Structure 1
Amino acid sequence: MSVLTIGDIGVLSGMIHIGDEAMFEAARDELAVRGLGVVGISSAPRESAARYGVLSVPRLGFVGLDRDAAARRSRLLVDAARGHTALEAEDPAAEVLNALAEASGVLIAGGGNLASRWPVHVYERTTLAAMARVRDLPVVVSGQTFGPDLDDADAERVAAMTRSAALTGVREHASAELARRWAAQVHTGVDDASFLGGGPTDHDGPTASDRVLVSLSGWFAGRPAAEVEHAIAALLDHAADTVGSVVFHAHFGPESAGAEPAGDAALHERVRARMRRPSEVVPSGDSLTAARLARTSRLLVTSRYHPAVFAAPAGVPILALAADEYTRIKLSGALGHWGQDDVVDLDALTDALPRLSAIAASTAATTDAAAERIDDHRATAAGWWDAVADALR
């Protein structure tokens, strides 16, 4: 029995997005221990098949389409799922239709968050869900952030998907409130990748090293890049002076060492060049390695989401940097589950130095807060995946 699963996976040109891969990997693992296999929808099917040991098929063909063309393609694919029309043999969605014929259900996994800034993800996920519905297959939505920027048409597409889903899971309360306004039955929990690889162990946590781990996103929401990079460099020099050695780890970057810096890794090099203190770089690697690195750091400074998802359950103190309302909602949600709340706007970086010192000094309290919550979060997550597996059998 297999579950057709869409996340946002596929390493192209050697560039990996750790968080998106992590959520798919977690879903594969959680379903596997409950007796269900997955078929992945991927930007690079052969690469994903080799990475995860599962059958993978191409995406549905929405990349590069404007909204009118995407709407037409959505109708075409749903009609094809009904059997009312036939796709061309070279259509990438033909393999998705074949996988649907063998699937027990569809999982809309985390990754490609559903907001109007990424219409391709809105159309992909809502169309796949509609294709499943006309085949009388159950759909589960898991690990999502909804909005906050959703125009009326996109909101209605996403709302219809959640209302018809067997289960809908979100990872912060703002998304849950929005889904409830759509009359969806919604579950709120920690991110699906929080316990990837088994989660933090007794040996993980801020006492494991003196490392200040840094993971930055190039999304500055229109702010002058040079000014933001200069302010981050000053913040990290302060971290090096007061906490420990600074290590950069790109969550969107070249998978292997020795590659030309790109994505977050290129930003890291620009920030490093502005620092007066030395720093180190760790290649992006894979999701399990990234999780271990975050869980064993002394302090995390991040504007990426999944470093916080990995670090917070281990009680690692986190200073999160938000560029806009979307990133603030995600980062606040990730930290709030574990009793942390230090999210600062990029405009306030010059005032963040004493805050960083205070966060680093509160390690014991932060670790205790995570320890008090972890058993409940583990149990809730296990119950969620039990329900997902039951719905998709």
Structure 2
Amino acid sequence: MHVLVIGDVGVIDGMMHIGDEAMFEAAVDELRARGVEAVGVSSVPEESAERYGIRCVPRLGFGGLDRAASEARAAQLIAAARGAHPLPEDDVALPALEALRGASGLLNAGGGNLASRWHVHVFERSTLAAMAGALGVPVVVSGQTFGPDLIEADAALVAGMVRSAALASVREPDSLALARSWRDDVRMLVDDASFLTDARTDGGVLVSLSGWFDHRPAEVVEAAIARVVDHAADVVGGPVRFLAHFGPLDDPAPTRGDAALHERLRERMTAPSEVVPTGSSVEAAALARGAALLVTSRYHPAVFAAPAGVPVLAIEVDEYTRIKLTGALGHWGAHPPLPVDELDATGTARVETLHGDRTAIAAAATAREPAHRADTATWWDEVAAVFGAAR
């Protein structure tokens, strides 16, 4: 028997999204450690199969569909799972349906994409859960962020998935409050990828940023960030390293994803810096865990760094990033994120505060680590028990 695991994985056009891959990898590792075989759902099944050493099947065919077409597609797939209307032999979702029919469970792996801005993920995950329900396959929802933007129709789909799950967990307080309005036994844990590795790659200032500024003038924000990173190099010491969490694996030209932003910042800076090529999730986690200071507007660099007691200057640009970064840092007693609009006025002072508090930050993380590790282990023990007890 196997468990079907869906995350937002698969390297498309050579572009790697480290955070999405990290949550999937952590889930596969945790299941494997408990003797549970995983079969993945991926945008690029062959690539993911090779990366994780498991069998993978394609996604369900919601990509590029509008809401009306997505509703029709969901109804078609659920009907097929119920045996009412078989899928055509060339339907892209047929391998996932067959894998689900032979599964002892479905794991909706960690992610922050269940929001109406990405309705494809709302439909894909809720439909797969409904298909599992039609087949009598138990569902677990792990390590999620819900919203903050969820229109009524999408909220109903996500709520139905959560209510039908054998177990459900989220990773920050805002999602917990929403999920507890659907069922009262949803748990809050640290992100699923928090303990992906214990390794550390020694380094000075690590910078991992997204180019999403919520429609603010890019040149203004970039100039402020460059000044803060220059100051960090003076206060903390070098080297200054840039790592794109959404970046190209097979293209040395830094013109895509986070790498393009990083190059613009490096051109503005006076301090010397270097680029670490986008690689594996484990390599990225080790680099974040070994930094003396992390500057990031992305979520998973903070997830990796905070458990190791690394001071984190997290930059929030909208409600979504505020919710996630506040959650990631709050678990470890770390300093809250800084709103991007305050970066120019208080960013350099925050760098000095973080550096001055580095011993206390490390101590707070060390004090919290045993409980978080124990809770995480218990969670995966219970997940494996749900799947092991099925059928």
Task: State whether TM-score is above 0.5.
Answer: yes
**What residue is the counterpart of 2:2 in the other structure?**
2
Q: Is 2:27 the partner of 1:27?
A: yes
Of 21-30 and 270-279, the range deviating more from structure 2: 270-279
**What residue is the counterpart of 1:14 in the other structure?**
14
Partner Cα separation in structure 1 for residue 353 and residue 203 of structure 2: 16
Q: Is 2:231 the partner of 1:242?
A: no
Partner Cα separation in structure 2 for residue 392 and residue 109 of structure 1: 14
- Superimposed CA distance per residue, residues 85-132 of structure 1 (whole angstroms, 9 cap, x where no aligned partner): 021222110111110111101000013521111100000000000000
Of 170-179 and 112-121, the range deviating more from structure 2: 112-121
* Counterpart residue type for residue 297 of structure 1: A
Partner Cα separation in structure 2 for residue 256 and residue 377 of structure 1: 36
Partner Cα separation in structure 2 for residue 255 and residue 368 of structure 1: 36
**What residue is the counterpart of 1:348 in the other structure?**
342
Equivalences for residues 225-304 of structure 1 within 5 A: 225-245=218-238, 246-256=240-250, 258-304=252-298
Which of these residues, 186, 200, 209, is aligned with residue 216 of structure 1? 209
Unaligned segments of structure 1, at least 5 residues: none
* Counterpart residue type for residue 367 of structure 1: A
**What residue is the counterpart of 1:368 in the other structure?**
363
Q: Is 2:338 the partner of 1:335?
A: no
Of 277-286 and 258-267, the range deviating more from structure 2: 258-267
Q: Is the 8 A contact 2:23 2:111 kept in 1?
A: yes
**Displacement after TM superposition at 1:185 (Å):** 2.4
**What residue is the counterpart of 2:135 in the other structure?**
135
Q: Is the 8 A contact 2:202 2:287 kept in 1?
A: no
Of 237-246 and 67-76, the range deviating more from structure 2: 237-246
Partner Cα separation in structure 1 for residue 36 and residue 174 of structure 2: 31
Partner Cα separation in structure 2 for residue 192 and residue 209 of structure 1: 24
**What residue is the counterpart of 1:192 in the other structure?**
192
* Counterpart residue type for residue 288 of structure 1: V
**What residue is the counterpart of 1:157 in the other structure?**
157
**What residue is the counterpart of 1:62 in the other structure?**
62
Of 21-30 and 268-277, the range deviating more from structure 2: 268-277
Partner Cα separation in structure 2 for residue 111 and residue 95 of structure 1: 23
Partner Cα separation in structure 1 for residue 139 and residue 34 of structure 2: 17
**Displacement after TM superposition at 1:261 (Å):** 3.1
* Counterpart residue type for residue 282 of structure 1: V
- Superimposed CA distance per residue, residues 265-304 of structure 1 (whole angstroms, 9 cap, x where no aligned partner): 1111111111122211101100010010000000001001
Partner Cα separation in structure 2 for residue 87 and residue 226 of structure 1: 50
Cα distance change, pair 112–370 in 1 and its aligned pair in 2 (3 A):
closer
**What residue is the counterpart of 2:111 in the other structure?**
111
Query: Aligned with 2:295: secondary structure?
Result: strand
Partner Cα separation in structure 1 for residue 194 and residue 184 of structure 2: 24
- TM-score, normalised on structure 1? 0.96
Query: Aligned with 1:117: secondary structure?
Result: helix
* Counterpart residue type for residue 249 of structure 2: E
* Counterpart residue type for residue 379 of structure 1: A
Query: Aligned with 2:117: secondary structure?
Result: coil
Query: Aligned with 1:113: secondary structure?
Result: strand
Partner Cα separation in structure 1 for residue 105 and residue 181 of structure 2: 26
Query: Aligned with 1:118: secondary structure?
Result: helix
Cα distance change, pair 2–184 in 1 and its aligned pair in 2 (3 A):
farther
* Counterpart residue type for residue 91 of structure 1: D
- TM-score, normalised on structure 2? 0.97
Partner Cα separation in structure 1 for residue 43 and residue 251 of structure 2: 23
Partner Cα separation in structure 2 for residue 213 and residue 228 of structure 1: 18
Q: Is 2:320 the partner of 1:326?
A: yes
Unaligned segments of structure 2, at least 5 residues: none
Query: Aligned with 2:111: secondary structure?
Result: coil
Partner Cα separation in structure 1 for residue 211 and residue 174 of structure 2: 24
**Displacement after TM superposition at 1:9 (Å):** 0.5
Q: Is the 8 A contact 2:330 2:336 kept in 1?
A: no
**Displacement after TM superposition at 1:260 (Å):** 4.3
- Superimposed CA distance per residue, residues 180-213 of structure 1 (whole angstroms, 9 cap, x where no aligned partner): 111252010000000113xx36xx4xxx745100
**Displacement after TM superposition at 1:341 (Å):** 2.4
**What residue is the counterpart of 1:382 in the other structure?**
377
* Counterpart residue type for residue 353 of structure 1: T
Partner Cα separation in structure 2 for residue 46 and residue 13 of structure 1: 14
Q: CA RMSD in A?
A: 1.2
**What residue is the counterpart of 1:77 in the other structure?**
77
Cα distance change, pair 257–242 in 1 and its aligned pair in 2 (3 A):
farther
Partner Cα separation in structure 2 for residue 305 and residue 32 of structure 1: 26
Partner Cα separation in structure 2 for residue 316 and residue 257 of structure 1: 30
- Superimposed CA distance per residue, residues 143-176 of structure 1 (whole angstroms, 9 cap, x where no aligned partner): 1001111111111110111011000010001111
**Displacement after TM superposition at 1:256 (Å):** 4.5
- Superimposed CA distance per residue, residues 31-70 of structure 1 (whole angstroms, 9 cap, x where no aligned partner): 0111101110000000000000100000000000000000
Q: Is the 8 A contact 1:117 1:149 kept in 2?
A: yes
Of 321-330 and 270-279, the range deviating more from structure 2: 270-279
* Counterpart residue type for residue 175 of structure 1: S
Partner Cα separation in structure 1 for residue 185 and residue 138 of structure 2: 15
Query: Aligned with 2:116: secondary structure?
Result: coil
Q: Is the 8 A contact 1:15 1:254 kept in 2?
A: yes
Partner Cα separation in structure 2 for residue 341 and residue 218 of structure 1: 23
